[in-house]
Amino acid sequence: MKILLSNDDGVFAPGLAVLAEALSSVAEVLVVAPDRNRSGASNSLTLDRPLNIVRHDNGFLSLNGTPTDCVHLGSSGIFDFAPDMVVSGINAGPNLGDDVLYSGTVAAAMEGRHLTYPPLAVSSASFNPHHLADAAQVVLQLVQDITDLNVASRTVLNVNIPDQPLSELGAVHVTRLGNREMADKPIPAEDPRGNIYYWIAGAGIAADRDPGTDFYAIEEGCVSITPIHADMTQFSGMDNVAEWLERTQ
């Protein structure tokens, strides 16, 4: 198997190196990652400037773009590499519920949705993880078993792993996305010249963390796997919108 590995924490992130080493034991791995942290980049593509590639001493490639840029280029064949699947991670910090809308980790995986096998977006539940090697072993097992998975085309598996030793991890739960409350207001500050600027505040707290959600699985010390897809159509609302249009026209 040939695996294209990327992330949104940047080419020098520890989670990327640990996962590359683990996956290289069972597959040919090409690493293409942003040259810096691009967390929150979502599915953005860079269209206003050219992208520069740098090859590092460890063989990793970095570019001055987004996670989606990395997979877009890496899966195109221009590096003489035709991947069978994309793995993104290991991200420092969870991507649960609404986070998938903003996550560069999930976006990088989503860009690989057309390949042979479902892509994996992998996140540690800790922003300062200490057990990345254990998390990588979880991913390694998923990759080894991925050929037996039967899901709809363009499915992405969003994987969140508690930051615990492998021996202490709970079961693997198939989950749905929970959701968060609205984030706090942006935080204003003033620069030395008196200009006001703003910091985006942190994510809102979990609002839907019921059993069956990704939030609940992580709180229970279990691995969460949520199948997600790019089709954002709300099919249950189509009839309601059609009826509304009939009434207003």
Contact partners, residue 139, CB within 8 Å, separation at least 6: 19, 22, 23, 87, 89, 90, 120, 122, 159
DSSP letters, 41-61, are: -TT----SS---EEE-TTS-E
State pTM to two decimals: 0.93
Positions of the chain with pLDDT under 50: none
> What pLDDT sits at residue 203?
85
Determine the Cα–Cα distance for residues 22 and 36; give it in Å rounded to an integer. Answer: 22
Tokens representing 178 are 């929970």
Determine the Cα–Cα distance for residues 139 and 122; give it in Å rounded to an integer. Answer: 8
Look at the block and give the residue holding tokens 């199948």. Answer: 227
Determine the Cα–Cα distance for residues 173 and 171; give it in Å rounded to an integer. Answer: 6
> What pLDDT sits at residue 223?
98
Strands annotated E in 126-168: 155-161
Determine the Cα–Cα distance for residues 205 and 156; give it in Å rounded to an integer. Answer: 24
Check if the beta carbon of residue 157 is closer than 8 Å to that of residue 142: yes
Determine the Cα angle at 159 with ends 8 and 121, to 5°. 35
Tokens representing 169 are 């991890």
Identify the DSSP state of 131.
Answer: -
Contact partners, residue 101, CB within 8 Å, separation at least 6: 42
Contact partners, residue 208, CB within 8 Å, separation at least 6: 97, 178, 179, 215
Determine the Cα–Cα distance for residues 158 and 170; give it in Å rounded to an integer. Answer: 17
Judged by DSSP in three states, 23 sits in helix
Q: Rounded to the nearest 5°, which phi and psi values hold at 52?
A: -105, 135
Tokens representing 215 are 């939030």
Determine the Cα–Cα distance for residues 201 and 151; give it in Å rounded to an integer. Answer: 36
> What pLDDT sits at residue 202?
80
